[in-house]
A and B are shown apart, each in its own frame.
Chain A
Amino acid sequence: MRSWRKKREGLDLETELRANRPEPSRELIHRLEARVREDGRRSRVGSFRVAFAGALAAGVLAALASVGGLGYAATATSQAVQKASRVVHAQGVTVLHRAQSASRDQYGKPKAKKKKKKHKKKARGVRFRRPPFTG
């Protein structure tokens, strides 16, 4: 006890606080370390999967490029786009065929349709009428 008091007389409180810092139990350290490692392993597996998928996609692309598959795919795509645009503009194509038909050659240009004149509607209301002549 005397030594404890003696030590306290020339007390360096900062050193005491550092030296007597509370320590966690071994069990807590092991448990938390295991938890952290397990989580790290899981995240590594996840990132490995993503990397594997990326590498696989890159490999497939490289293989296609080596045999000209990419050019073939590009041509096929552009053709598909052209077909699709034709289908979409089918109405326009029909008009072209009609212009070159036999009936069109025989009877000439179709008459331009007369535009209907628009009659202005008179404002509704009670019209004034002269009463019938009664003599």
Chain B
Amino acid sequence: MLRVDPLANPEPLIRRVYAYVAYRIGDGPDAEDITSETFERALRYKKSYDSGKGEPVAWLIGIARRCIEGRPPTLEISSEQLEAVDHRDLEDDALRRIALSSAVGRLEERDRELIALRYGADLTARQIAELQGSKTNAVEVALHRSLARLRIHFEGEEPGVRKSRVQQ
């Protein structure tokens, strides 16, 4: 039987793993470190990958989860960081991105994990359920609730107000 190379096309995998990690612990050098560590472990244990159990991205996300669990928890994006960013004349997209990442950072660990798996790693509800050992329906319901909580945090963000305050 031919062995499938899970890292045959690495770039999309790097992007998805990084997005997952960044949604979990915040964008930046820590996320890059975790992503690198994930790929190092993946290379070391490449032979343990079983294509019958799932796609390579799900396997990599499992490794990334363990890498994150092995690290001390990182703090959410601080308001000081946001203030510093607001000094610059940012585009709308950039402002939205910052507000979104800040809102994700304010979520509880479980909600953040779900958001990261669904929208960072781009896994389906079924894949998330397999990864977490739960039912697809339960994951869908939990995701819906997590999104509702994220919306509350996101709508609470007012970068425009903060920016004007800083400019005064």
Chain A residues within an 8 Å CB radius of B10: 32-33, 36-37
Contact B36 A21 (CB under 8 A): no
Which residues of the partner chain B approach A23 to less than 8 Å between Cβ atoms? Answer: 15, 18-19
B43 at interface by CB-CB < 8 Å: yes
Known contacts A4-B92, A16-B96; A11 and B151 CB within 8 A of each other? yes
List chain B residues, Cβ under 8 A from A33.
10-11, 14
**Is A40's beta carbon under 8 Å from chain B?**
yes
Cβ of B95 under 8 Å from chain A:
yes
Q: When the two chains form the complex, which single residue of B32, B46, B95, B151 contacts A24, counting CB atoms closer than 8 Å?
A: B32
Interface residue count on the B side (C-beta < 8 Å): 40
Interface residues of A in 13-52 (CB under 8 A from B): 13-14, 16-18, 20-25, 28-29, 31-33, 35-37, 39-40, 43
CB distance from B142 to the nearest CB of A (A): 15
Q: Does A7 contact B (CB under 8 A)?
A: yes
Contact with A along B127-149 (1 / 0, CB 8 A): 00000000000000000000100
From residue 141 to 163 of chain B, which have CB atoms closer than 8 A to chain A? 147, 150-151, 154-155, 159-160, 163
- Give 8 pairs: A residue, B residue, CB < 8 Å, sorted on A: A1-B92, A4-B95, A16-B96, A17-B104, A17-B118, A22-B18, A29-B14, A35-B43
Name A's B-contacting residues (CB within 8 A): 1, 3-5, 7-8, 11, 13-14, 16-18, 20-25, 28-29, 31-33, 35-37, 39-40, 43
| Interface residues, chain B, with chain A CB atoms under 8 Å away | 5, 7, 10-11, 14-15, 18-19, 22-23, 27, 31-32, 35-36, 39-40, 43, 46, 92-93, 95-97, 100-101, 104, 115, 118-120, 122, 147, 150-151, 154-155, 159-160, 163
